Structure formats: structure tokens, C-alpha cells
Amino acid sequence: MSIIHIRQIETHLLNTFARYIDMTDYENKSESEKKSALLTRSLAAFSVFNFSETTEEFAGKSITDGYGDNGIDAVHYDENEKILYIAQSKWHHDGTGSIDRGDVLKFINGAKDILAGNFSKFNSKIQNKKDVIEKFLYDASAKICLIIIHSGQQQIGQESIRDLDEYIEELNDASDVISRKILRQGDIHRIISGGAKGAPINFDVMLRHWGKMDTPYTTFYGQVSAKDVASWYEAYYPRLFAPNLRLFLGSTDINSGLIETLKTTPEKFFYFNNGITALCSNISKKPIGGDSKESGYFECCDVSIVNGAQTVGSIASIKNTHPDKLDNASVFIRFISLEKCPEGFGTEVTRATNTQNRIDKRDFVSLDPEQERIRTELQLSGIHYFYKSGERISSPEDSFDLIEATIALAVAQGDVSLAVQAKREIGKLWDDISKAPYKVLFNNSLSGINLWNFILILRKIEETLIGTQESCDNRTRMYIIHGNRFIAHQVFKHLDLSGLQDPKNSISGLLVTISAVTLNYITKTMESGEMLYPDSYLAHLFKNLSKCRKLDEALA
């Protein structure tokens, strides 16, 4: 079947992507060389099109394959989802073989150069994408997806997989910033035979302890195996999710909690998770299993998940790293049939399930009486502090909120770990209001006026950081953007903060000195960073505690 599959894949690639791919560098090559290169490039375009929200034309224009590509055959930044896709492809005419380790290592090194902003190592095709790549490099919340795709039947070698996973693990030790997709002939054929992007997603599902609602609209609900959920993600991402629903956001404070539960106590996941809501054009129970409510098999047509993207994504991420943990995990799911629903009902469900009854970790901060004490103290001084969700700052000149307060207190502490955590995942600082790190920041020794002075200092630091970006080179700008919390921590460490507790003391004299101190520590941070971690991906560096500790020690 390999040759048949290869011919079908070839036809699809040429019909879909060939007209959008630049082949001018092959004008003087033989027809066989041209075709081989075109199919290799079309494979890369296919992978970009399949995983990102883009068109066939823009997928074709993502191709960077050619002399001096540094192992990178396609680059595409999905600005809506904030994901940078980097692909390597290989076409095998006979449908056998794989990608060798040397090519994989070259691909990894090329990815490292892109993340470090070393554009001089690339051909003009990648250099022409510099502006859009820099949008990714300057965004600390953006993610990376590495794609290796080939038309052979064989898996890539275990050594190559280990090289790839070691690199991913290195970057993800700070946060889940990078993932990988590896596609071979069978995967490609399955995607193509399943139809183009937008084709209905149909599958069968087994529900345990299931139930049904007939009125007003048909709904089936029950427990589904986490392994089944992971397989949906693998087969149908990103089409599985409704167009107006956020895709999987990676490592957020909520998702970290989901992933930790799956890793440590997967059997409790069902009880700790809110579950998944899916829409379908229709759903019907199959005869197998009879009327037993213990388990039932259902045929679902045109499925779209409208709530629970983070749940599904977290489960899928565990399958990649700890697949055995999914054996004992299940999740609640409901399938709402739109067969007899009024027009627009699906949109209403999507909107409502993603906006109602959401509770974030910061909401529990309002239970801490110290927050109200601080608010009251500042109110008496004409300063407005908003610590509850939903409250809005009217005039920043005399107001601030919980997020700004948390950042100011974190960078002002002597321990750099709190500044790193504020950069990496601020929600962790509110994890438990009864103990550290929350109690290190907010406690009965913190006065309202002291907190406000910290806010003023932080604002002056950030004003200097922002003002400096306009006149510096790209690498320095990346240090300022990604290292802002670390640099602020250095500034606080080297200021005389005595007397800030006394409302009678003026802070104006101290504020005058802050710009110079900030500029000094921009330079020192960059010099030490380039010495200790040359060519590093800076969005990762300043979320990595062990590296930031060494950098902090170097600046002591």
C-alpha cells in the first residue's frame, strides 16, 4: 500500500500547494530535482497548513527551504494563537526511509539560532521573515511548535527523538514553551483522506455511567477515558475546537494544576475537573451494551469542543510525556446535539460556557483580611487599591491593582526566585493565601504606604525600560522585554529603601536616581547574560530559576 499512499499524497500536495511555492532557485535544475524539491517543500507547507490557522497560500509562502536554510524548511507565526511553527521536511519517492540524525541535529541548531535571533546564519528567505519572527521573540507568552514531516514509512530513529526531546526538555524546564509534532507517511495519508480543513469530525465514543436529556434539546453525558480525549486531540487538532474558542494555552496557572493532578493523582482528575462540553450535529447510541447505564457506545457526527480546550490540551500533553498516567484518568463530558436546536444556539452555548462561573486563583486573594486592611490604609491617603476581580482602575495616577502590587512586591524581595516566578507564572504567587510565597509578599508587616512606594519605584523602572527600547539593538531590546522583572529586582536590591514605611518621608529624591540605576543594570544584565548564556532564547532564560540564580550571583 505504500506506493499507492505515496501517489495519493503526491497528488494532493501538488494540487494544493505547488502553485504557491517559490521554485525560482531550481530553474536550472533537472526535472527530477525540481519535482523532489517541490514535494519536499509542499510537505512542509502541508504541515504548517494542518497545524496552524492559515491558508494554503500562506502555508506555501512559509517555505524557507534552500541553500543556507540552516535545516529549517518552513517558518510560520500564527499571530492569533501566538505559536511559531518551525518545520523540517523530507520527501521519499519510494515511500521508505525516514530522516537521519544529522538532519535532525541541524534542524535543532537552526531552531536555536532562530530563538536567539541570529538571523545572519540564515538565507534571505528566513531573513525576509525577520519582522514577524521578532514579534514572536518579543512576546513572552508565545509558544513554539517544532514539526518534522517525511513521506517514509519508518519512524525517525530513537537517537534523533532523544536529541529532539532533550532540547525540548531543556527549554520547558522553565515553562511549557515548546512542543513537537512528528508526521510520517501514515499520518499524512490519514489527514488527507480525512478531508480538507473544515471537514466534519466524526467519531465513536464510549461513555461510562452515562445519562441522557431529551428536552428541550438532546444531550448525552458521562465519563470518557482520558486516553480517548488525547487521541481526539492528536487526530483533529486544531479543527476539534470551535473557531471562536481559545486553543490550548500551554503552561498557565490553571493548566499547570490540571497537568499536576494527571501526573500525581490521575484517578482524582474526574473529581477535580469541570469537564468538557461538545456540540455535534447529531449523536446516537449504538445497540452494543443494550440499555445498561454502566457503559454505552455513541456515534457522534460533526463534533466541535466549545468548552474545555485547556482540559483537552493538558490531557494531550500528558500523553506525550507520561502516557501511563492516562490509564486511570477520566473526565466528564456532555455532547449537545444541535439537530433540533434553534439557529444560533451553538454560538450561545460556546459564549456562555466560556464566560460564566469562572473562578481564577486571584479570586481567592479577596478572602485574605490583609488585603482589605491595605486597601483601607491607602484609602485614607487618597490612594485606591483594587484587589478584587472585576474592579477597574479609573485613574492610574493614584490607583493600582493586585497584579501590579504582586509584581512590585515580588521584585522588591531579596530572593530572585520571586521575581522569576512573577515573570514565569504570576498565579503561582497566589496559590495558597495561608503560606509562602503569598505570605512572603502580603503579611501584617506590609503597610499600605510602603506598598504604594514600591509601586512608584516599579513604575519608574518600567518607564525607563520602555523608553530605552526605542534606541537599542534587537538583542538588547529582547533583554529588556524578557528580563524586565529580573532587571527590576536588581534595581530594588541596590536602592536604599529605608524609611519607605514612614508616610512623612518623601520618595521624590529616590525616584530621581532610578533611571540611572536601571540603565546600569540593563547593561550589566546583558553583559553577564551574554557571558554565561550566549545565544540563549531569552524568553526562556528569564523564566528559568537556576539560570537566573547564577545570573543574580554574577551581578552581586
523 falls within a domain: yes
Query: What's residue 314's pLDDT?
Result: 86
Q: Same domain for 418 and 503?
A: yes
pLDDT (0 to 100) of residue 180: 86
Report the pLDDT averaged over residues 57-68: 94
Read off the pLDDT of residues 330-360 as tens digits, 9 standing for 90 and up. Answer: 999 999 999 989 988 888 888 777 765 555 6
Residues 222 and 164 in one domain: no
| Domain end position, chosen among 166, 193, 220 | 193
Q: What is the pLDDT of residue 269?
A: 92
Pair (440, 339) in one structural domain? no
Segment 249-268 mean pLDDT: 72
Same domain, 498 and 466: yes
State whether 299 and 425 are in the same domain: no
Residue by residue, DSSP assigns 462-518 as HHHHHHHHTTS-HHHHHHHHHTHHHHHHHHHHTS--TTTT-TTS--HHHHHHHHHHH
Query: How large a percentage of the chain has pLDDT more than 70?
Result: 94
Question: Mind listing the pLDDT tens digit for each residue in 513-551?
Answer: 999 999 999 999 999 999 999 988 999 999 999 999 999
Whether residue 252 is predicted with pLDDT greater than 60 in this model: the reply is: no
**More confident site: 4 or 401:** 401
Closest CA to 156 of 219, 208, 105: 105
Cis peptide bond prior to 216, omega within 30° of 0: yes
C-alpha cell at 140: 513572552
Pairing of the two strands 330-337 and 276-280: parallel
Q: Please state, in angstroms and rounded to a whole number, the distance separating the CA atoms of residues 207 and 205.
A: 6
Domain check: are 18 and 68 in the same one?
yes
In the numeric block, the cell 501511563 is attached to 324
pTM: 0.74
Residue 154 included in any domain: yes
88 and 220 fall within a common domain: no
Q: So what's the pLDDT on residue 4?
A: 86
Of the residues 333, 353, 373, which one is the last residue of a structural domain?
A: 353
Mean pLDDT of 147-167: 92
Q: For the segment 311-326, what is each residue's pLDDT rounded down to a tens digit? A: 888 898 888 778 888 9
Mean pLDDT, residues 360-379: 88
pLDDT of residue 527: 96
DSSP string, 170-205: HHHTTS--EEEEEE-HHHHHHHHHT-STT----EEE
Average pLDDT over residues 54-69: 93
What integer pLDDT is reported at residue 229 of this predicted model?
94
Q: If pLDDT is split at 50, 70 and 90, which confidence band does 258 have?
A: confident
510 and 527 within one domain: yes
67-91 burial code (b ≥16 CB/10 A, e <16) = eebbbbbbbbbbeebbbbbbbbbbb
Q: Which of 324, 353, 382 is the last residue of a domain?
A: 353
Compute how many other C-beta atoms are within 10 angstroms of the C-beta atom of residue 509: 8
The DSSP 8-state label assigned to residue 9 in this structure reads: H
Give yes or no for a contact between 487 and 522, defined as CB atoms under 8 angstroms apart.
Answer: yes
Residue 253 has pLDDT above 50, yes or no: no
Question: Among 77-86, 143-152, 156-165, 288-297, where is mean pLDDT lowest?
Answer: 288-297
What's the pLDDT score for residue 1? 52
Note whether 325 and 291 are same-domain residues: yes
Q: What mean pLDDT is reported for the chain?
A: 88
Q: How many Å from the N-terminal Cα to the C-terminal Cα in the chain?
A: 65
Task: Tell me the per-residue pLDDT of 175-184, one tens digit each, with 9 for 90 and over.
Answer: 678 888 889 9
Whether residue 171 sits in one domain with residue 59: yes
Q: Where are the beta strands (DSSP E) in 250-383?
A: 276-280, 282-285, 295-301, 304-307, 330-337
Edge-to-edge strand list for the sheet holding 282-285: 282-285, 295-301, 203-213, 219-225, 330-337, 276-280, 304-307
Mean pLDDT throughout 217-241?
89
User: pLDDT confidence of 234, banded at 50, 70, 90?
Assistant: confident
Question: Has residue 198 been placed in a domain?
Answer: no
Same domain, 284 and 367: no
Whether residue 278 lies inside any domain: the answer is yes
Helix (H) / strand (E) element for 390: namely: none
Q: How many domains does the chain have?
A: 3
Angle between helices 484-493 and 448-469 (to 10 degrees): 130
What is the spatial distance between Cα 299 and Cα 468, in angstroms, rounded to a whole number? 59
Q: Which has more pLDDT, 415 or 196?
A: 415
Host domain of residue 510: 361-554
- For residues 183 and 208, membership in a common domain is answered with no
pLDDT at 211: 94
pLDDT at 246 over 50: no
- pLDDT above 90 (res 505): no
- Within a domain: residue 302? yes
Q: What angle do CA 85, 113, 535 make, to 5 degrees?
A: 130
Q: How many CB atoms lie within 10 A of CB 248?
A: 24
Confidence of residue 249 (pLDDT cuts 50, 70, 90): very low
Write down the number of H helices and E strands in the chain.
23, 13
